[in-house]
Amino acid sequence: MVKRLRSKHSATRHVGSWRLDHPLQQFAFKGLLTGVIVTAIVGLVAPPLGANTIAGLFGLPIPSLPIPGGSVEDLLKGAISEQAMKALGSTLQNEAPIESSSQATFPIVNQVPGKAFKPNAMPTTLMAQLRNATDGTVALQPGDYRIPVDVFCMKVSAHSPAGHRYLLAPLKGKWADIIVALNARSAGTAIPHKQLQVLSWNLQAGMKYEELATEQRAIVDQLLPDYKPRLSRSFYEQIESTWSQLSGTVPGLPSMDSALGRLGTVGNAIVTLRQTRETLLRYGNNFEALSNAFVLPGQANTPTDGANTPWSQISPRVYARLVTQGTYADPGELQVRVTAEAPVGMGDRPLVATTNLADLHLAATPVKVPLAGLVGDPQDSSVQPLSMSPRPEDKDEDESGSGNLHIEEKGFSGPQPPDPLNQV
38-63: average pLDDT: 32
152-159: average pLDDT: 90
Q: Evaluate whether 98 touches 172 at the Cβ level (below 8 Å).
A: yes
Indicate the SS3 state at residue 299: coil
Count of C-beta atoms within a 10 Å radius of residue 78: 18
Indicate whether 103 pLDDT > 60: yes
Q: Evaluate whether 187 touches 391 at the Cβ level (below 8 Å).
A: yes
Query: Whole-angstrom Cα distance, residue 136 to residue 372?
Result: 5
Confidence of residue 358 (pLDDT cuts 50, 70, 90): very low
Indicate whether 413 pLDDT > 60: no
Q: What pLDDT is recorded for position 147?
A: 96
Query: Whole-angstrom Cα distance, residue 150 to residue 267?
Result: 35
Q: What pLDDT is recorded for position 51?
A: 30
173-192: average pLDDT: 95
Count of C-beta atoms within a 10 Å radius of residue 105: 18
List pLDDT tens digits, range 106-133: 999 999 999 999 998 889 999 999 999 9
Name, in order, each residue with C-beta under 8 angstroms of 171's C-beta and a sequence gap of 6 or more. Answer: 98, 101, 179, 180, 373, 374, 375, 387
208-219: average pLDDT: 98
Angle, helices 287-294 vs 264-283, to 10°: value is 160
Confidence of residue 37 (pLDDT cuts 50, 70, 90): very low
Q: What pLDDT is recorded for position 203?
A: 97
Confidence of residue 202 (pLDDT cuts 50, 70, 90): very high
Percentage, residues of the chain above pLDDT 90: 47
Annotate 96-112 with DSSP letters as a single string: -SS---TT-PPPEESS-
**From 55-64, 157-166, 272-281, 409-418, the region with the lowest mean pLDDT:** 55-64
Query: Whole-angstrom Cα distance, residue 110 to residue 308?
Result: 9
Please, is 365 exposed, middle or buried when counting C-beta atoms within 10 Å of its C-beta (0-12, 13-18, 19+)?
middle
269-286: average pLDDT: 95
Q: What pLDDT is recorded for position 115?
A: 93
Is the backbone of residue 379 left (phi > 0), alpha (psi -120 to 50) or beta?
left
The domain ranges of the chain are: 11-99+235-267, 108-230+277-390
Indicate the SS3 state at residue 213: coil
Query: Whole-angstrom Cα distance, residue 105 to residue 95?
Result: 20
pLDDT: is 413 or 313 the higher one? 313
Q: What pLDDT is recorded for position 402?
A: 35
Confidence of residue 79 (pLDDT cuts 50, 70, 90): low
Indicate whether 150 pLDDT > 90: yes
Percentage, residues of the chain above pLDDT 70: 67
- Alpha-carbon 200 to chain mean position: 11
Confidence of residue 412 (pLDDT cuts 50, 70, 90): very low
Q: What pLDDT is recorded for position 261?
A: 82
74-88: average pLDDT: 68
Confidence of residue 247 (pLDDT cuts 50, 70, 90): confident
Query: Whole-angstrom Cα distance, residue 191 to residue 194?
Result: 8
Q: What pLDDT is recorded for position 251?
A: 72
Indicate whether 44 pLDDT > 90: no
From start to end of 273-365, where are the E strands? 311-315, 318-323, 332-338
170 DSSP 8-state letter: E
Confidence of residue 197 (pLDDT cuts 50, 70, 90): very high
Query: Whole-angstrom Cα distance, residue 14 to residue 62?
Result: 10
Confidence of residue 43 (pLDDT cuts 50, 70, 90): very low
The beta-carbon contacts of 252-255 under 8 Å, at least 24 apart in sequence, are: 252/2, 252/3, 252/4, 252/5, 253/1, 253/2, 253/80, 253/84, 254/1
**From 227-231, 253-257, 316-320, 412-416, the region with the lowest mean pLDDT:** 412-416
Q: Evaluate whether 136 touches 374 at the Cβ level (below 8 Å).
A: no
Query: pTM for the full model?
Result: 0.72
Q: What pLDDT is recorded for position 424?
A: 33
Query: Whole-angstrom Cα distance, residue 184 to residue 176?
Result: 12
94-103: average pLDDT: 86
Q: Evaluate whether 51 touches 68 at the Cβ level (below 8 Å).
A: no
Count of C-beta atoms within a 10 Å radius of residue 358: 8
- H-only helix segments in 33-125: 72-94
Indicate whether 73 pLDDT > 50: no
21-27: average pLDDT: 37
Residue type, 207: M
